C-alpha cells in the first residue's frame, strides 16, 4: 500500500508537458514555510476549516473512538485514538472537516495515472511524484516508479534529498528528472530550522549530479530571513555541479490555510508573498524565477 495525500491531473508545472502530480505522505523535515504540512506524517490527518465550522459539536458526538473533543469552543483531535474511519467527516454538514490521506494499492494508483496517458504522449509529459518526500515511503515509492517505467511514463520526482544514499542508488535509474531542493548551505541553520541533516542532502545531490547532471533541476525556495543571504553561494554551487537548470522559487503563503486547518502555528503569518521581480537580478546569471 502507498499513502497518498492528493492527485492533481493536468498539471503543467514540475516537469515538461501535461502531467499528473502525485503527492505522497510523509517527510522527515519540518520546514516552517511548508506548503503541504498535511503530508508530514504518513498517516491520515484531520483538517478543520474554522471558517466553515458551525461549532455544532456533531463530530465529537459521532466519533466512535472519542478522538475529537471540544474545549472552550476549540476542536481538539487526538491522533493516537483516531482510526481514520471518516465518520466525523461524513456527519459534518458544513463540510468543515477533511481527512487527508488515502491508502492505495500501487496497481490502483496506476489505473488513475494511466487515464491521461494519451495527453502525456501528445505533450511529452508524464508523472511528477511529490509530497512530502516521496522517498519517505521508499519501498512503495519504488514499486510505483517501476510501474510507471514499465508503462512507458516519464517520471519526475520532487525531492528534498533527505534519505539514505542506498535508497537513491536503487531508485535512480527509474527517475527521468530530479527536481532537487537545495534550501541553504549552512548546516547549523538547516539543523535548527529544518530539523535535518544538510550533509545527507548534499551527499545525495552530489551523487546524482556526478552521474546525471543533465537530469537535475535545482530548486531553491527563497525565504526572507532564512536564505536570502546565501543565494549567490547556492547558485554558484548548482553551477559547479553542472545542473540542467536552477530555479529560484519566491516565498508564497499558499500553505498558510493548511497550517490553520491543522491547528498549527504558522511562523510566517504576517509575511507578504514575495514578488518575482524581487529576484529579477538573478536572471542575468541564467537562473529561472519560479518553477
B/e letters for 190-205, b = 16+ CB within 10 Å, e = fewer, are beebbebbbebbbebb
pLDDT tens by residue, 137-161: 999 999 999 999 999 999 999 999 9
**Integer Rg of the chain from CA:** 20
Distance CA 135, CA 63 (A): 33
Distance CA 98, CA 134 (A): 22
Distance CA 247, CA 291 (A): 6
**Grid-cell match 508530514, residue found:** 40
Secondary structure element (H or E) that encloses residue 76, with its range: strand 74-77
Count how many residues are written for the chain.
291
Distance CA 272, CA 186 (A): 25
**CATH entry, 45-100, from 1.20.1630.10, 2.40.50.140, 3.50.50.60, 3.30.70.20:** 3.30.70.20
Q: Is domain 2-41+102-289 annotated with CATH 3.20.20.70? A: yes
Distance CA 206, CA 209 (A): 5
pLDDT bracket for residue 108 (50, 70, 90): very high
pLDDT bracket for residue 25 (50, 70, 90): very high
pLDDT bracket for residue 8 (50, 70, 90): very high
Whether 280 shows a pLDDT value over 80: the answer reads yes
Mean pLDDT over 65-83 rounds to 95
The pLDDT value recorded for residue 84 is: 95
Distance CA 258, CA 23 (A): 15
Whether 212 shows a pLDDT value over 80: the answer reads yes
Mean pLDDT over 46-58 rounds to 97
Whether 263 shows a pLDDT value over 90: the answer reads yes
Mean pLDDT over 70-92 rounds to 96
Q: pTM, whole model, 2 decimals? A: 0.94
Sheet-wide strand order for 216-222: 102-104, 2-11, 19-24, 126-130, 155-159, 177-181, 216-222, 245-250, 288-289
Q: Express as a percent the part of the chain with pLDDT over 90.
A: 93
Mean pLDDT over 199-209 rounds to 99
CATH 3.30.70.20 occupies which residues in the chain? 45-100
pLDDT bracket for residue 285 (50, 70, 90): confident
pLDDT bracket for residue 22 (50, 70, 90): very high
Whether 291 shows a pLDDT value over 80: the answer reads no
The single-letter DSSP state of residue 116 is: T
- CB 237 within 8 Å of CB 182: yes
Q: Kindly give the pairing relationship between strand 97-100 and strand 45-48.
A: antiparallel
CATH 3.20.20.70 occupies which residues in the chain? 2-41+102-289
DSSP E strands: which ranges in 15-55? 19-24, 45-48
The pLDDT value recorded for residue 59 is: 97
Amino acid at each position: 500500500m502507498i499513502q497518498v495525500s492528493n492527485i492533481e491531473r493536468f498539471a503543467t508545472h514540475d516537469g515538461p508537458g501535461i502531467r499528473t502530480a502525485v503527492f505522497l505522505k510523509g517527510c522527515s523535515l519540518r520546514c516552517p514555510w511548508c506548503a503541504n504540512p498535511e503530508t508530514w506524517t504518513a498517516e491520515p490527518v484531520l483538517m478543520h476549516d474554522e471558517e466553515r465550522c458551525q461549532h455544532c459539536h456533531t463530530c465529537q458526538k459521532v466519533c466512535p473512538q472519542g478522538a475529537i473533543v471540544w474545549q472552550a469552543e476549540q476542536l481538539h483531535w487526538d491522533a493516537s485514538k483516531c482510526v481514520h474511519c471518516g465518520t466525523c467527516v461524513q456527519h459534518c454538514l458544513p463540510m468543515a472537516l477533511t481527512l487527508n490521506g488515502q491508502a492505495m494499492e500501487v496497481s490502483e494508483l496506476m489505473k488513475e495515472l494511466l487515464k491521461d496517458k494519451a495527453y502525456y504522449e501528445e505533450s511529452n509529459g508524464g508523472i511528477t511524484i511529490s509530497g512530502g518526500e516521496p522517498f519517505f515511503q521508499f519501498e512503495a515509492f519504488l514499486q510505483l516508479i517501476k510501474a510507471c517505467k514499465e508503462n512507458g511514463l516519464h517520471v519526475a520526482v520532487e525531492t528534498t534529498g533527505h534519505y539514505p544514499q542506498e535508497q537513491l542508488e536503487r531508485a535512480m535509474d527509474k527517475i527521468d528528472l530530479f527536481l532537487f531542493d537545495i534550501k541553504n548551505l549552512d548546516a547549523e541553520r538547516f539543523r535548527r530550522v529544518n530539523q535535518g541533516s544538510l550533509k545527507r542532502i548534499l551527499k545525495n545531490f552530489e551523487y546524482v549530479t556526478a552521474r546525471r547532471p543533465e537530469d537535475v533541476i535545482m530548486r531553491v525556495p527563497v525565504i526572507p530571513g532564512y536564505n536570502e543571504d546565501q543565494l549567490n553561494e547556492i547558485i554558484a554551487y548548482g553551477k559547479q555541479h553542472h545542473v540542467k537548470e536552477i530555479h529560484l522559487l519566491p516565498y508564497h503563503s499558499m500553505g498558510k490555510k493548511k497550517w490553520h486547518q491543522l491547528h498549527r502555528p504558522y511562523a510566517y503569518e504576517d509575511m507578504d508573498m514575495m514578488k518575482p521581480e524581487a529576484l529579477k537580478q538573478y536572471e542575468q546569471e541564467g537562473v529561472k524565477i519560479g518553477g
